[in-house]
Structure 1
Amino acid sequence: MVIVHSQAPVILVGGAPIEKEILFQALDLGDQVVAADSGALAVLDAGRVPDAVIGDFDSLPEDHRAAIPAERLHYVPEQDSTDFEKCLTRIDAPLVIAIGFSGARLDHELAVFSTLLRIDTPPCVILRGAELAFIAPPQLRLDLPVGSNLSFFPLAPVTVTTSGVKWPLTDALMRPGGLTSSSNIVTGPVALECDTRAVLVTLPAASVASVMQALAGPTASPA
C-alpha cells in the first residue's frame, strides 16, 4: 500500500550515522522527507518533522515518537522485510534519494543493494558520504565532468557496453567474482547499455544532480 505520493523526489532517511552537513544538503534535494524508523531522530535533530515515518518502530524511542504527529507514523510490524524495503515499496515518486543506510553495519548495507536489485520502482540513489550509488537502468546516459571517477559493478551476470570512459566495454559479460569495471575515469558523455538491470554504479556525491536528471528527468534535478 502506497503511503507517500509525490511528483518530486522524496528524501528517505535511515538510522545509520549521518554527518549533519550532508543531511542538510540531502534534505534540499527533494520535497517530502520519509524516515525509516530511527531515521526520524536525525530528521528531528535537523529541525524538521518527517512527513512520514515507516517501520516496525523497534528503534524509535517513545519520546521522539511523541514529537511526530500520529497521522505521520505508519507502523508496519511484519519482519519479512527491512525498514528500507518497507519504505521504498510504500513511496510513489519519480525518484528516492536515500541517506543513512550505509556505514553502520555491512550486512544492512548489503541488504539495501539486494533490495534495489529486486525493486526498480521508484528508482533510488543511495548517498553514502562522499559517494553515491544506484542500480543502472538498461540504458543510461550521464553528463559528468571529465576526469571524474566512476565504477560499474555487476550484482548478477549481465552483458554490458560502455562509452565515455577511459576503459570502455563492448558486449562484455560482467558477473560477481568475474569482470568488473571499477575505478574508471570519465572522458566524455557516459553511456551504458546492459541486457538486464544488474549494474551498480558508484560516483562522487557531487554528481547527484546529473544522476537525478538521468534517472527521473529534468524536473527531478535540484534547483
Structure 2
Amino acid sequence: MEARAAQLRLCADGGANRLYDEMPALLPHEDPLDVRHRYKPDVIKGDMDSIRSEVQEFYIKLGTEVVDESYDQDTTDLHKCVNFILDYTPNLEKSNLRILVSGALGGRFDHEVGNINVLHRFSSVRIVLLSDDCLIQLLPKTHHHEIHIQSSVEGPHCGLIPIGEPSASTTTTGLQWDLTDTAMKFGGLVSTSNIVREEKITVRSDSDLLWTISIRKLK
C-alpha cells in the first residue's frame, strides 16, 4: 500500500472512521486488528464532530496525535490537514510536496465542493483528490503542464474544467478532442467526457483548470 511509504499520514476527522471500518475489508485474509495497527494514522485533525469516540480512543492508544480545532468553523477539515502538513514540512519546497487525499470525492456534494476549493486555496501545492472512480487535481495557469498517463490504472475518460473563472484560451495535445485556443466557461463549453489518446497530455491555459481522469478498478 502506498500509504505506508508516505512521510506523514493524516485523517481528517471522520475519515478515521472510514479507515478503521474499511481498511480491514481491503485485506480480508488478514486479522482486522493487525491491519488497523499497521495502517494507523500519525495524526487525526479537524473539528472532531464526526469521529466516533471508540475510534478516537483506539488510535490514541496506538500513539496517534489528535488535534482538535473545533474553534475554527471557517475552514474545512481538509484545509486544516493541509495547513498541518505545511507546518510539518517547513523546509520542503512546495513544488516538491505531494499530498494524496483518499475518499475526498463521493458522498455529500457540499463536501466535494469544499475539497475542490482547497485545491484553489493551496494552488502552489500539488494535491490530488481520489475517489474509487477518478482523481482530480488543479492545473495552475502559471505553468504549462505535461501529464504522463499510467494507462494500466488511468483513463480513458478525462476532463478539463474551468471552475475558478472562465478560460479565454486553452490548448491541449494528446486528447481525442483536443482544444486549440478554445474558450471554456460554465454556461458554455466545458471539456467533459473527453478521451486520452496518448501517454503524454499537454495543457496550456490562461486560467486555472481542474484535470480529472477516470481510474480503473483493480480486479
Q: Same fold (TM over 0.5)?
A: yes
For the aligned residue pairs, the C-alpha RMSD in angstroms reads: 2.4
**1:38-57 paired onto structure 2 within 5 Å:** 38-45=14-21, 46=23, 47=36, 48-57=39-48
2:95 maps to 1:86: no
2:79 maps to 1:76: no
CA contact (8 A) 1:37 1:83 kept: yes
Partner of 2:29: none
SS at match of 2:174: strand
Return the match for 2:117 from 114, 119, 127. 114
Partner of 1:185: 195
Aligned residue pairs: how many? 182
Return the match for 1:157 from 149, 157, 166. 166
The 2-side partners of 1:203 and 1:147 are apart by: 6
The 2-side partners of 1:29 and 1:200 are apart by: 27
2:124 maps to 1:131: no
Q: Give the 4+ runs in structure 1 shifted more than 4 A.
A: none
Residue deviations 1:132-158 (CA, integer Å, cap 9, x gap): 111113321122249722111110212
SS at match of 1:111: helix
Compared with structure 1, are the counterparts of its residues 143 and 206 closer, same or farther at alpha carbon in structure 2 (3 Å cutoff)? Answer: farther
Aligned-partner residue type, residue 74 of structure 1: V
**Higher RCO by CA contacts (8 Å cutoff, separation 6 or greater):** 1
Compared with structure 1, are the counterparts of its residues 192 and 68 closer, same or farther at alpha carbon in structure 2 (3 Å cutoff)? Answer: same
The 1-side partners of 2:46 and 2:11 are apart by: 9
Partner of 2:185: 175
The 2-side partners of 1:111 and 1:95 are apart by: 19
The 1-side partners of 2:51 and 2:155 are apart by: 42
CA contact (8 A) 2:139 2:211 kept: yes
Compared with structure 1, are the counterparts of its residues 129 and 147 closer, same or farther at alpha carbon in structure 2 (3 Å cutoff)? Answer: closer
SS at match of 1:148: strand
The gaps in structure 1 that reach 5 residues or longer are 1-24, 208-223
**1:71 Cα deviation after fit:** 6.3
Partner of 1:195: 206
Compared with structure 1, are the counterparts of its residues 27 and 147 closer, same or farther at alpha carbon in structure 2 (3 Å cutoff)? Answer: closer
Compute the TM-score of the two structures, normalised by the length of structure 2. Answer: 0.74
Aligned-partner residue type, residue 99 of structure 2: V
The gaps in structure 2 that reach 5 residues or longer are 24-35, 90-96
SS at match of 1:201: strand
Identical amino acids, percent of aligned pairs: 29
The 1-side partners of 2:99 and 2:66 are apart by: 19
